[in-house]
């Protein structure tokens, strides 16, 4: 099984790499590849058309990438599309993605759409133990009352814990947080339901399900 992971941006990479390597003992560039994009983007009105070159978001490029993967991928591949819900209803987002795939003349036999609710940073604020281990000495008490996977502005909540103004937060900051926190995430009993679902899907794939 080779897993091709499509995600919104570079800041998602450390967490996904950690899940696949630590939880499943997979080897990057052999068992899996992670392909970050430039943001979420939007699904094109016609998924059969060539994507607009200037639009490099995950959803902008997704139909074309699925068509391309469909040229050579068989059951030994899994395309794992990890997209943030943001303020969308997760079930509706997945429904739209499945409808897009159904319109394609060609796509891989194994495609899984996984929604991070609200975003991958939500996985972090759901696991305060991981955050405390990653940043000892910092206070994350303001996150204790947040129900896992709540739509609260997850990365903004993390920025607040570091007293960092939201307008100063960059992709590099988000990558750093992910790189520091991901090694401490509980991947056996994840606190985030959407992270748990992602692990279940990968587990089924690597075990031949």
Say if residue 143's pLDDT is above 70. yes
180 and 198 assigned to the same domain: no
77 and 149 assigned to the same domain: no
Supply the pTM of this predicted model: 0.94
pLDDT at 51: 87
14 and 108 assigned to the same domain: yes
Domain hosting residue 38, numbered range: 2-119+190-206
**Pairwise CA distance, residues 71 & 197, whole Å:** 28
Q: Among the residues of 49-187, which ranges form H helices? A: 58-69, 90-103, 120-125, 128-134, 154-161, 171-181
Assign 59 a pLDDT band (cuts: 50, 70, 90). Answer: very high
Overall residue count recorded for the chain in this entry: 209
pLDDT at 182: 98
The residue-averaged pLDDT of 117-141 equals 95
33 and 66 assigned to the same domain: yes
Q: Between the CA of residue 104 and those of 6, 22, 49, 206, what are the distances in Å?
A: 18, 35, 10, 26
Say if residue 43's pLDDT is above 80. yes
User: What percent of the chain clears pLDDT 90, i.e. is strictly above it?
Assistant: 94
115 and 126 assigned to the same domain: no
Assign 69 a pLDDT band (cuts: 50, 70, 90). Answer: very high
pLDDT at 79: 98
Assign 209 a pLDDT band (cuts: 50, 70, 90). Answer: low
Query: Which residues contact residue 149 at a Cβ distance below 8 angstroms, ignoring those fewer than 6 apart?
Result: 117, 118, 122, 126, 192, 193, 194
178 and 108 assigned to the same domain: no
Say if residue 13's pLDDT is above 80. yes
What is the CB-side half-sphere exposure of residue 61 using CA atoms within 13 A? Answer: 21
Say if residue 41's pLDDT is above 90. yes
SS3 content of the chain, % helix, strand, coil (to 5): 45, 10, 40
137 and 50 assigned to the same domain: no
**Pairwise CA distance, residues 51 & 93, whole Å:** 20
Assign 52 a pLDDT band (cuts: 50, 70, 90). Answer: confident
98 and 197 assigned to the same domain: yes
45 and 88 assigned to the same domain: yes
10 and 106 assigned to the same domain: yes
Say if residue 25's pLDDT is above 90. yes
- Domain total in the chain: 2
**Pairwise CA distance, residues 18 & 195, whole Å:** 12
Query: What average pLDDT is seen over the chain?
Result: 95
Say if residue 95's pLDDT is above 70. yes
pLDDT at 204: 93
Assign 102 a pLDDT band (cuts: 50, 70, 90). Answer: very high
81 and 42 assigned to the same domain: yes
pLDDT at 208: 78
180 and 196 assigned to the same domain: no
């Amino acid at each position: 099984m080779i897993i091709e992971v499509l995600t919104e941006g570079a800041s998602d990479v450390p967490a996904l790499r950690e899940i696949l390597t630590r939880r499943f003992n997979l080897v990057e560039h052999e068992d899996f590849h992670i392909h970050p994009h430039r943001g979420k983007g939007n699904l094109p009105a016609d998924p059969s058309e060539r994507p607009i070159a200037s639009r490099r978001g995950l959803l902008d490029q997704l139909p074309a990438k699925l068509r391309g993967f469909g040229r050579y991928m068989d059951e030994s591949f899994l395309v794992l599309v990890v997209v943030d819900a943001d303020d969308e209803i997760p079930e509706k987002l997945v429904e739209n993605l499945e409808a897009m795939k159904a319109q394609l003349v060609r796509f891989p036999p194994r495609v899984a759409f996984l929604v991070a609710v609200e975003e991958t940073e939500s996985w972090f604020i759901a696991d305060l133990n991981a955050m405390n281990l990653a940043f000892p000495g910092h206070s994350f008490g303001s996150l204790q009352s947040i129900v896992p996977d709540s739509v609260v502005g997850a990365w903004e909540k993390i920025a607040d814990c570091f007293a960092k103004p939201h307008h100063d937060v960059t992709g590099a900051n988000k990558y750093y947080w992910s790189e520091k926190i991901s090694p401490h995430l509980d991947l056996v009993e994840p606190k985030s339901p959407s992270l748990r679902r992602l692990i279940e899907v990968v587990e089924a794939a690597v075990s031949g399900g």
